[in-house]
């Protein structure tokens, strides 16, 4: 614990991408982020940036 490796730095730089299914409601107002585990094994986390993007699909 307390060690930041090159692999950690690469993961931080790359970021994380999550895909949501098209079946979710299209009028989402709030998004809850549930963190189940952290690298540091502590009970808090920090969000630096969250961006939502995609294509509005008309049916």
Band of pLDDT at residue 1, cut at 50, 70 and 90 = low
Domain residue spans of the chain? 1-59
Residue 59 CA to residue 43 CA, distance in Å, equals 42
The answer to whether 50 touches 17, Cβ cutoff 8 Å, is: no
Residue 37 CA to residue 12 CA, distance in Å, equals 16
Residue 27 CA to residue 59 CA, distance in Å, equals 15
Predicted confidence at residue 14, as pLDDT, reads 92
The pLDDT tens digits for 2-56 are 788 999 899 889 988 888 888 888 788 888 888 888 877 888 888 888 888 877 6
pTM confidence score: 0.48
The answer to whether 38 touches 45, Cβ cutoff 8 Å, is: yes
């Amino acid at each position: 614990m307390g060690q930041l490796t090159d692999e950690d730095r690469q993961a931080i730089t790359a970021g994380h991408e999550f895909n949501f299914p098209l079946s979710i409601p299209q009028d989402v107002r709030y998004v809850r982020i549930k963190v189940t585990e952290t690298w540091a094994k502590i009970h808090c986390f920090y969000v630096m940036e969250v961006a939502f993007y995609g294509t509005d699909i008309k049916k």
